[in-house]
Amino acid sequence: MALVSRLLTARAKERPDSSAFITGADGRALSWRELAGHGESWQAVARLRGLPARARIGVLIGDPLLFAAGYLGALAAGLTAVPLDPRLTESELAASLARLRVDVLVTDDPTAWAGVETWAMAHSGPLPVTRPSTTARPSAGAATRP
């Protein structure tokens, strides 16, 4: 989604150190510069891993700032972000990933893995940690959805 990428870049140029998101619980903040950097990180990692445009990224992140960075970063990279509830059980997560045809799971939970390529969401951006044994992506051939 080039629009999200352009929006983040423009906002980062206008007010780079202003807070884009602030957590209410502990007052941590994510600046526009950091958020735009996440978009660039997502683009680089997606290109490096050979993800097709609109590949489906399951976003399983409990930390609100990392969730915002992961979700918007994926959109900025032209990927389809699918938010997932971090409270799902392992079997519910596996069923959701299969039903939604998720290509990559990005998470801040190092124990989460459900048979798809898994990336850890760090403050610097996504970091690939596992790769599935098959080269076919679950969303290949799936109908385009909004």
Tens of pLDDT, residue by residue over 48-76, are 888 888 899 999 999 999 999 999 999 98
Report residue 134's pLDDT band, with 50, 70 and 90 as the boundaries.
Answer: very low
Residue 103: the pLDDT is 92
Distance between CA 53 and CA 76 in Å, rounded? 11
> To the nearest whole percent, how much of the chain has pLDDT over 90?
34
pLDDT of 35 above 60: yes
C-alpha closest to that of 90 among 112, 60, 106: 112
